[in-house]
Amino acid sequence: MDSNLQKILRQSAAALLVVVLTAGLVVADGENAHIAIENPAELSKEEAVAHYRSLNKRMARGYAAAQLDLILNYQSWPLFNDAPYISATHGQRFVNSYANRMAHNYGTLQEGEELPMGSVLAKDSMTVTDEGRLHPGAMFIMEKLAEGASPDTADWRYIMVLPDGSVFGDTLGDRAGEVAYCHVCHEQVADRDYTFYVPEEYRKSE
């Protein structure tokens, strides 16, 4: 074979390999974004609150880059937990559970009742490793849509926003397939309008 041709073939093979490897990394990163970190720290409620206070402004700025009006100023919404708690189902991150004013019955929902259309539930998250390293985590969002807007997900829209404001997936927008698993799990609590609510030991007492 002509040696120039061989060189070109070798180069394109190398280039292809780079593309394949990079794609692999991107996928791995994406998975890390919602798969458990291995060594979450054990924190007291006070420590978890203090960590969150040192990070929450930065977290809000990150999510804001997604330009999703529905989570604008979410940190001023009612908060339903008394301290960030580890959520095994959301990647072993420390999470908070906020709900907008429309979701007035989020905390008192009885079996068979539903949240009103326009309800938005926002769960921000941070990771704290056992070496004490603190990082903003993803934001998990549920929005109650108009009746019939999304029959497959009982009219809930699920969105996951990464700490830098990029949208990992939106069941009503880009990369819907990436967040289809959200509703699959939330279906376990269909009788509570697909919401799990906060673990008992972290519920605000009022």
Residues that bind ligand HEC (CB under 6 A): 34, 87, 89-90, 95, 97, 121, 123, 140-142, 158, 160, 179, 181-182, 185-186, 195-197, 199
For ligand HEC, the closer CB: 126 or 160: 160
User: Which CB sits closer to ligand HEC, 116 or 199?
Assistant: 199
Nearer to ligand HEC, 51 or 85 (CB): 85
- Give the shortest CB-87-to-ligand HEC separation in angstroms: 3
Q: How far is the CB of 74 from ligand HEC (least distance, A)?
A: 11
User: Least CB distance from residue 8 to ligand HEC, whole Å?
Assistant: 44
Least gap, CB of 178 to ligand HEC (angstroms): 8
Q: What is the DSSP string of the chain?
A: --HHHHHHHHHHHHHHHHHHHHHHHHHHHHHHHHS--S-BPP--HHHHHHHHHHHHHHHHHHHHTT--GGGTTGGGS-B-BSS-EEEGGGTTEEE--EE-GGGTTTTTPPTT--PPTT-EEEE-EEEEBTT--EEE--EEEEEE--TTS-GGGTTEEEEEE-TTS-EEEETTSTTGGGGHHHHHHHGGGGGGTT-----GGGB---
Smallest gap from Cβ 168 to ligand HEC, in A, equals 7
Smaller CB separation from ligand HEC, 9 or 117:
117
Distance CA 129, CA 84 (A): 14
Residue among 34 and 51 whose Cβ is closer to ligand HEC:
34
